[in-house]
């Protein structure tokens, strides 16, 4: 009851450094308790002895203890009480839990580091269990959607903000919960507006069973997507006029001819060459020539339907693909007359008034023109030859082949 040691085993010697003969009869506070906390521990002991000894029996607590050499370490203490002929004895089972505490500290530090890393990653990171319930979310969820992370954990995946996206992607969910890693692209509505997102689902095959839980890693790839779109546009469009270039034109022509063969409709290909363009360049300079080409491109686009395709091949050579025609020759003639009339209207460019003219060659296939649908190369060659015929006929003309 006074806190003096009456029994001391070999494990106590190994743990605290005091031999049995040194420990017997001495106060436990002198042997085991760091001097800085002796008063507080002694007070707690006395209160326990006087008020709650039986209540504490069988319980466990953690205490800071001291080795004979002054080294401090944590111990776990299990208390018990013996009563015999009116005498009370407390017995304590103590063991050094330094290793356990070190592991706990390492786990805590590791968890803190992982949380810090996850919260500062420019991506959504989450863990979803096999029942599709969120178990972990990083700070990006709050940054993107304005919902505190604490409110997301425990919520069903398909009931949250990206549920609509995932509902439209049932296959990735099924595949990842079957144990397959899945990637897909989607659009996502966030506080910053709609963004493009690349998402990876990674199955947790090591820690769970089918249907597997899985990790979510979703990255905002809007800038990369926009850059890719811009590069693709630049690769397939003319920088001066914004029209499709020769490469894009040939691809569109091949696709249009495939539709002609499949649907039986007619198609007309117009090949346009701006008359007198070299004179504009030589007389007024290339900047003026560029302004003429841009005006010519706008005029051609305004003369055809939105479903028709206008392209700039090179220099002052342009093409138009007219699709879905029952009478391709007649329709192309109407468009050519309309275009020549619009070009003949005087316009002010660079402080100068001028009227433009073009030589137009037309090649047709399908529809009422009969015959087998031509190849892209054959059709382009015929339209080019017809354009030279129109130019030889006095320019500002069109010829249908």
CA–CA distance, 39 with 45 (Å, rounded to integer): 10
CA–CA distance, 221 with 229 (Å, rounded to integer): 12
**What's the first-to-final CA gap in the chain, in angstroms?**
119
pLDDT score for 263:
85
pLDDT score for 42:
80
The mean pLDDT values, 10 residues at a time, for the chain of 401 residues are: 88 93 92 86 74 61 89 86 74 85 80 81 90 91 87 82 55 89 87 89 87 91 89 88 93 92 89 91 88 93 92 94 92 94 89 90 83 79 94 90 84
pLDDT score for 127:
92
Task: Let me know if 344 is exposed, middle or buried by CB neighbors in 10 A (0-12, 13-18, 19+).
Answer: exposed
pLDDT score for 118:
84
CA–CA distance, 33 with 256 (Å, rounded to integer): 90
Phi-psi category of 280—alpha, beta or left, where left has phi over 0 and alpha has psi -120 to 50?
A: alpha
Match 């206008």 to its residue by tokens.
310
pLDDT score for 25:
94
pLDDT score for 372:
57
pLDDT score for 13:
94
CA–CA distance, 85 with 302 (Å, rounded to integer): 114
pLDDT score for 55:
58
Q: Which residues contact 17 (CB under 8 A, 6 or more apart)?
A: 67, 68, 69
């Amino acid at each position: 009851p006074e806190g003096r040691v009456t029994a001391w085993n070999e494990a106590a010697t190994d743990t605290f450094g005091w031999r049995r003969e040194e420990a017997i009869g001495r106060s436990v506070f002198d042997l085991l308790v760091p001097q800085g906390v002796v008063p507080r521990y002694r007070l707690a002991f006395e209160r326990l002895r006087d008020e709650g000894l039986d209540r504490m029996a069988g319980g466990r607590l953690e205490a800071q203890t001291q080795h004979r050499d002054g080294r401090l370490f944590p111990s776990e203490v299990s208390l018990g009480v013996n009563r015999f002929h009116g005498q009370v004895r407390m017995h304590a089972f103590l063991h050094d839990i330094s290793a356990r505490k070190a592991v706990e500290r390492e786990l805590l530090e590791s968890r803190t580091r992982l949380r810090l890393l996850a919260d500062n990653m420019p991506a959504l990171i989450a863990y979803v269990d096999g029942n599709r319930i969120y178990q972990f979310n990083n700070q990006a969820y709050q940054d993107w959607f304005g919902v505190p992370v604490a409110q997301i954990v425990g919520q069903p995946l398909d009931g949250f903000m990206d549920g609509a996206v995932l509902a439209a992607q049932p296959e990735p969910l099924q595949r990842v919960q079957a144990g397959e890693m899945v990637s897909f692209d989607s659009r996502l509505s966030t506080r910053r507006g709609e963004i493009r997102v690349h998402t990876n689902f990674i199955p947790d095959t090591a820690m769970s069973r089918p249907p597997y839980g899985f990790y979510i890693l979703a990255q905002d790839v809007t800038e990369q997507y926009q850059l890719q779109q811009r590069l693709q546009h630049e690769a397939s469009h003319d920088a001066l006029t914004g029209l499709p270039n020769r490469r894009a034109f040939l691809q569109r022509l091949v696709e249009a001819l495939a539709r002609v063969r499949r649907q039986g409709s007619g198609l007309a290909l117009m090949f346009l060459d701006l008359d007198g363009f070299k004179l504009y360049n030589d007389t007024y300079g290339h900047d003026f020539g560029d302004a003429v080409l841009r005006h010519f491109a706008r005029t051609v686009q305004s003369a055809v339907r939105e479903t028709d395709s206008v392209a700039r091949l090179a220099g002052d050579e342009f093409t138009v693909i007219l699709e879905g025609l029952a009478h391709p020759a007649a329709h192309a003639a109407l468009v050519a007359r309309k275009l020549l009339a619009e070009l003949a209207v005087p316009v002010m460019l660079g402080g100068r008034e001028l009227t433009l003219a073009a030589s137009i060659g037309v090649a047709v296939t399908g529809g009422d023109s009969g015959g087998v649908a031509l190849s892209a190369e054959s059709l382009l060659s015929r339209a080019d030859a017809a354009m030279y015929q129109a130019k030889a006929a006095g320019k500002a003309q069109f010829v249908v082949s």
